Amino acid sequence: MKQHHLGIACHDIDAYCKKIEQIHNVVAKTEVLFDKEQQVNVQLLSLEDGTNLELISGKVVAGFLKKNVNLYHVCYEVEDIEFEIKKAIKNGAFLMSTPKISALFGGRKACFLMFPYGLVEFLATD
C-alpha cells in the first residue's frame, strides 16, 4: 500500500487550483473531469515534490465544505483491492462504496472506506 494522493474538497476547482499554484509549484495537472460514478468534478494536480492533490467539487463534498473542512480523504494505491478491503474491514474499517471505475485514473477501480482516522480511498494499481 502506497500513498497516492490527498483528496481536497472545494467549491470551485478552477479557483482553488489557482490558489494552489500561487503557493506550490504545480508540475502537471489533468483537465477537470466529471466522474459519473461519484457524481463529482475532479482534477489531479502533481506538485514538484511528488505530492498529488485531487481537487473535488460537488454534492458529495458539500457537507465537508459547510464545516470549512477541505481535507477530504487520503488515497492509497493497492495491488489487490479486494484483499485490502477485506483486511481493512476485518480490522474495523467500514466500506463506504464498492469498487467502481474511476474517470480520473484511467478506468482503474477505486473505493472508499471509513477508518478511525477518516475517509480513505483505495485505488487499484491496474
Q: Is the pLDDT of residue 126 over 90?
A: no
6 to each of 3, 64, 67, 106, how far by Cα in Å? 8, 15, 18, 18
Contact 54, 44 (CB under 8 A): yes
* CA-wise closest residue to 57 among 16, 12, 116, 114: 12
Element (DSSP H or E) covering residue 82: helix 81-90
pTM of structure: 0.94
How many structural domains comprise the chain? 1
Summarize pLDDT for 56-68 with one digit per residue, the tens: 999 999 999 999 9
Single-letter amino acid, residue 11: H
Q: What is the model's pLDDT at position 37? A: 87
**In which domain, by residue range, is 57 found?**
2-124
CATH number of the domain at 12, please. Answer: 3.10.180.10
**Span 1-32, pLDDT tens digits:** 999 999 999 999 999 999 999 999 999 999 99
Residue 74 has phi, psi (to 5 degrees) of -115, 140
